[in-house]
Amino acid sequence: MSKLWGGRFTKETNKLVEEFTASIQFDQKLALEDIEGSLAHVEMLGSCGIIHEDDVETIKKGLLTIKEKMNAGEVEFSIEDEDIHMNIERLLIEEIGPVGGKLHTGRSRNDQVATDMHLYLFKKTKEIIHMLKSVQKAIVKQAKEHIETVMPGYTHLQRAQPISLGHHLLAYFWMFERDKERLHDSLKRINWSPLGAGALAGTTFPIDRNLTASLLGFDTVYPNSLDAVSDRDFILEFLSISSILMTHISRLSEELVLWSSQEFEFIELDDSFCTGSSIMPQKKNPDVPELLRGKTGRVYGNLIGLLTVLKGLPLAYNKDLQEDKEGMFDTVETLTGSLKLLAPMIETMTVNKEKMYQAVRQDYSNATDLADYLVNKGLPFRQAHEIIGKIVLYAIEKNKYLLDLTFKEYKQFCDLFEEDIYAVLTPKHVVEARNSYGGTAFSQVELQLKLAESKLKD
């Protein structure tokens, strides 16, 4: 098969080179975007009088036929044609004859591939935003049911202060909200059109870049042709946002794995989201959150991979840039696969309220409240902290919790204690007492839920 660019060559391409340089194995994912871009380009060529309207119609028809054949699975791509752009051009010429060769007037694969990537990522980013919303909805649903479910809150993975489970879950809502905002904001930059930048310097034809941009739904065009063909910031940005998002998914997954362990028994994941062991009959493994945590690694890897490819690249297009694709596709697939599972997994998990409550009842996480009690009686906080520290030590020695100490015992440590300390120490009261804005008091969590729900409206 002779190359579409073969005129200048006297020898066939080495087979190994052909295999090594081809991208069709993976860039066929851009087939629809490539046709979309070509349809806009040829329309513009016609409207600017660069090619005849009859040719425009023939080329458009040819492109649409190829699209239909592709959808019907009737198209075979070949490695000899290297990438999706050359493959489609070859198919077009086979379909409509030499007039198909007019499509590439005033265009290069360099602005063409960049256009395809922009179109692809714009679509996928919107899909991911939508999927993130479903995860947030699942979180809100669980949080709503568990406003008054009390659990230990941790610092250093040591029981710190009791909190509402709803409050804990909503912390993830806000992480995902920021991810959503970041993705949304990135659309502005994905939505620049590189089409018409040519190979690197523009074109001799009187093209209209704004026309192709508006036909394709871009907001604006790159003002610099060199930048247009060599910019991959929009992919780097997507990979960075995805890395942060995967960090959040991974932290949540880690908690779900911990909480479903026999050591915690705070939650149980639905059977349909777990797997068994080939040897140990009793096992129910949280494979899904484990794998979500694990898949974070490949997304970070894709980001570092592309940063490294771009570092030190001279302007403008270099073949290195073909390495931008696999990491991007892989990240899109990893994210969509992960988010699809995360929403129903959260929604179907069950909570062991009793276990959570017992964990709070059997610890000293109400100690801060006892210190605050003394502060309310006029003692400086530092002094109160010292006294309560001594009481905790005493209680541990006696194998008792703070609620189990007698009033007489309390009085030995400080004369300011009165009978009302026991009411202050109950887990529910401890949670309710944190009534500052954004705190864990039930009414604050309810307020927070309203705000969260308002974010999901549009």
Interface residues with ligand ARG (CB under 6 A) are: 23, 27, 83, 109-110, 113, 317, 319, 321-322
Using the minimum distance from each CB to ligand ARG, give the nearer residue, 81 or 432. 81
Dist. CA 196–CA 48, nearest whole Å: 13
* CB distance 101 to 307 below 8 Å: no
Minimal distance, residue 18 CB to ligand ARG, in Å: 13
What one-letter code names the amino acid at 440?
T
> Residue written as tokens 């006892």?
370
Minimal distance, residue 45 CB to ligand ARG, in Å: 20
Structure tokens belonging to residue 335: 């994210």
Using the minimum distance from each CB to ligand ARG, give the nearer residue, 30 or 96. 30
Minimal distance, residue 83 CB to ligand ARG, in Å: 4
Chain CA centroid to CA 37, Å = 27
Dist. CA 142–CA 238, nearest whole Å: 29
Minimal distance, residue 115 CB to ligand ARG, in Å: 11
Structure tokens belonging to residue 233: 């910031």
Using the minimum distance from each CB to ligand ARG, give the nearer residue, 1 or 280. 1
Minimal distance, residue 134 CB to ligand ARG, in Å: 32
Total Cβ atoms within 10 A of residue 403: 13
- Catalytic pick from 156, 272, 278, 436? 156
Catalytic, 156? Answer yes
Minimal distance, residue 219 CB to ligand ARG, in Å: 24
Q: Which residues pair with 158 in a beta bridge?
A: 155
Minimal distance, residue 216 CB to ligand ARG, in Å: 18
DSSP state, residue 314 = P
Using the minimum distance from each CB to ligand ARG, give the nearer residue, 121 or 445. 121
Using the minimum distance from each CB to ligand ARG, give the nearer residue, 319 or 457. 319
Using the minimum distance from each CB to ligand ARG, give the nearer residue, 172 or 317. 317
> Residue written as tokens 């699209």?
67
Dist. CA 450–CA 445, nearest whole Å: 9
* CB distance 330 to 239 below 8 Å: no
Structure tokens belonging to residue 58: 């023939």
- Catalytic pick from 52, 78, 130, 277? 277
Using the minimum distance from each CB to ligand ARG, give the nearer residue, 3 or 385. 3
Instruction: Please give the full DSSP string across 319-361, using - where no structure is assigned.
Output: GGGGGGHHHHHHHHHHHHHHHHHHHHHHHH-EE-HHHHHHHHH
Dist. CA 360–CA 160, nearest whole Å: 10
Longest dimension (CA), the chain: 102
Catalytic, 2? Answer no
Using the minimum distance from each CB to ligand ARG, give the nearer residue, 82 or 369. 82
Instruction: Please give the full DSSP string across 188-227, using - where no structure is assigned.
Output: HHHTEE-TT-TTTT--SS---HHHHHHHHT-SEE-S-HHH
Minimal distance, residue 87 CB to ligand ARG, in Å: 10
- How much of the chain is helix, strand and coil, in % rounded to 5? 65, 5, 30
What one-letter code names the amino acid at 260?
S
DSSP state, residue 113 = H
Where in the sequence numbering do the catalytic residues fall? 156, 277
